[in-house]
Structure 1
């Protein structure tokens, strides 16, 4: 898997965790957006971030 995010860098800079409202970071190894503050990983499906809490994986 590439280290590059499938999400536009401009959009990635604007995305925040729906729980903590802190910035998300791209984790290339898992292909997920990670909220370190909430210890949650949000999936990205077909290049679209799924920021629904019930879809998140606990870290």
Structure 2
């Protein structure tokens, strides 16, 4: 396999099916998502959003997404 859109964990204890993670894209940018195992969410760095995963199901709704705080909004003020 070459580049996959989502980074999947290597353990069988993943709350989301790794094949599903490979298929999902950000609903805003249609870009790749990165699986954040620690926060149990899918992150779209381009959109600056993190989509939660609840009961093993990614919630791909913009209204449910968390705004990323670590995006450089005002660099060099």
- TM above 0.5, yes or no, is yes
Aligned residues: 57
Q: CA deviation at 1:29?
A: 1.4
Instruction: For structure 2, list consecutive stretches of 5 or more residues without a partner in the other structure.
Output: 1-8, 69-77
Task: Select the structure with the greater relative contact order (CA < 8 A; seq sep ≥ 6).
Answer: 1
1:8 aligns with 2:17: yes
Name which of 7, 18, 28 aligns with 1:19: 28
> TM-score normalized by structure 2?
0.69
Provide runs of 4+ in structure 1 moved above 4 Å.
none
Name which of 35, 58, 67 aligns with 1:49: 58
> TM-score normalized by structure 1?
0.88
Instruction: For structure 1, list consecutive stretches of 5 or more residues without a partner in the other structure.
Output: none
**Alpha-carbon RMSD:** 1.2
Structure that is richer in strand per residue: 1
